């Protein structure tokens, strides 16, 4: 969900983890049963933050009628909403007074990019490679200024060292990616076999596409 969203609805995190950010800066993180996106619905104001999935999530979306029904018929759910809002308020104040490390796991690797911002440029690349977390419109892959592919799928890796020197990857809309170094490969292969499988699948698909 981008900053400035005006959809009169709200969202509930059913599973996974979501980050809320303003101007690319994390202001709070949400977990299961947390609610966000109420500003357009209750305050009639655009959403002041962007929302990014930090891992695979299930999100439920409700409109104003659902909120009215909830308030009238389900005091327990109203309590859950208030608990989530108080928790987020407390967390936001904590971030403002004493900004912590953004997240606990691989969160220090997470980078946010705006529309048309370059994420990866092979001509200036080091030893990093990337994994897509979330995106509004996908990632545009170009070679020599010509678009050759788009990346849409969360979890897909890109930007491996050795890519064609003219390769460039940029964001379409707002995107969040995770950055890795070659030193991380041993850890990924040892501890995260599914990520290793994703890397292999990505490379094989690229080779197949190039062959075609």
On the question of pLDDT at 97 being above 60, the answer is no
* Same domain assignment for residues 83 and 127: no
Q: How many CB atoms lie within 10 A of CB 130?
A: 21
What average pLDDT does range 187-212 have in this prediction? 64
* Same domain assignment for residues 78 and 119: no
C-alpha to C-alpha distances, 121 to 170, 205, 207, nearest whole angstrom? 9, 20, 19
* Same domain assignment for residues 204 and 137: yes
Average pLDDT, the chain: 76
Inter-residue contact 189 to 157 (CB < 8 Å): no
Indicate whether 4 belongs to any domain: no
* Same domain assignment for residues 126 and 164: yes
Total domain count for the chain? Answer: 2
Q: Confidence class of residue 86 from pLDDT cuts 50, 70 and 90?
A: low
* Same domain assignment for residues 119 and 93: no
Indicate whether 3 belongs to any domain: no
* Same domain assignment for residues 86 and 132: no
* Same domain assignment for residues 135 and 192: yes
On the question of pLDDT at 101 being above 60, the answer is no
| Nearest C-alpha neighbor of 33 from the set 69, 74, 85, 72 | 85
**In the 8-state DSSP scheme, what is residue 32?**
T
Please give the residue range of the domain that contains residue 114: 107-211
The residue out of 97, 124, 148 marking a domain boundary is: 97
Indicate whether 202 belongs to any domain: yes
Indicate whether 197 belongs to any domain: yes
Distance CA 80, CA 60 (A): 15
Indicate whether 1 belongs to any domain: no
Long-range pairs of 39-48 with CB within 8 A, sequence gap ≥ 24: 40/5, 40/6, 40/7, 40/8, 40/9, 41/8, 41/9, 41/10, 41/67, 46/3, 46/4, 46/5, 46/6, 47/1, 47/2, 47/3, 47/4, 47/5, 47/6, 48/3, 48/22
What average pLDDT does range 157-173 have in this prediction? 82
Indicate whether 134 belongs to any domain: yes
C-alpha to C-alpha distances, 89 to 27, 33, 36, 95, 143, nearest whole angstrom? 10, 15, 12, 10, 45
On the question of pLDDT at 136 being above 70, the answer is yes
What average pLDDT does range 34-61 have in this prediction? 82
Residue with tokens 């009238």: 72
**In the 8-state DSSP scheme, what is residue 77?**
H
Distance CA 136, CA 170 (A): 12
Q: Confidence class of residue 169 from pLDDT cuts 50, 70 and 90?
A: very high
Q: What pLDDT is stored for residue 198 in this prediction?
A: 67
Q: What residues contact 40, with CB distance under 8 A and at least 6 apart?
A: 5, 6, 7, 8, 9, 46, 47
On the question of pLDDT at 102 being above 50, the answer is no
CATH number of the domain to which 61 belongs: 2.60.120.10
* Same domain assignment for residues 117 and 203: yes
* Same domain assignment for residues 93 and 112: no
* Same domain assignment for residues 86 and 164: no
């Amino acid at each position: 969900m981008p900053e400035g969203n005006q959809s009169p609805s709200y969202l509930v995190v059913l599973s996974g983890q979501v980050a809320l950010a303003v101007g690319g800066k994390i202001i709070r993180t949400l977990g299961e049963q947390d609610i966000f996106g109420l500003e357009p619905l209750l305050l009639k104001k655009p959403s002041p933050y962007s929302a990014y999935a930090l891992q695979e999530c299930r999100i439920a979306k409700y409109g104003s009628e659902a909120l009215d029904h909830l308030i009238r018929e389900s005091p327990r759910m109203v309590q859950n909403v208030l608990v989530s809002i108080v928790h987020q308020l407390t967390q936001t104040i904590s971030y403002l007074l004493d900004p912590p490390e953004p997240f606990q796991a691989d969160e220090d690797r997470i980078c946010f990019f705006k529309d048309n911002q370059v994420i990866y440029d092979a001509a200036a690349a080091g030893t990093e490679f990337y994994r897509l977390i979330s995106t509004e419109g996908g990632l545009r892959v170009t070679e020599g200024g010509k678009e050759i592919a788009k990346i849409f799928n969360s979890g897909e890796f890109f930007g491996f060292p050795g890519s064609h020197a003219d390769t460039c990857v940029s964001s379409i809309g707002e995107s969040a990616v995770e950055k890795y170094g070659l030193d991380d490969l041993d850890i990924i292969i040892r501890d995260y076999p599914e990520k290793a499988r994703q890397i292999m699948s990505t490379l094989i698909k690229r080779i197949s596409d190039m062959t075609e």
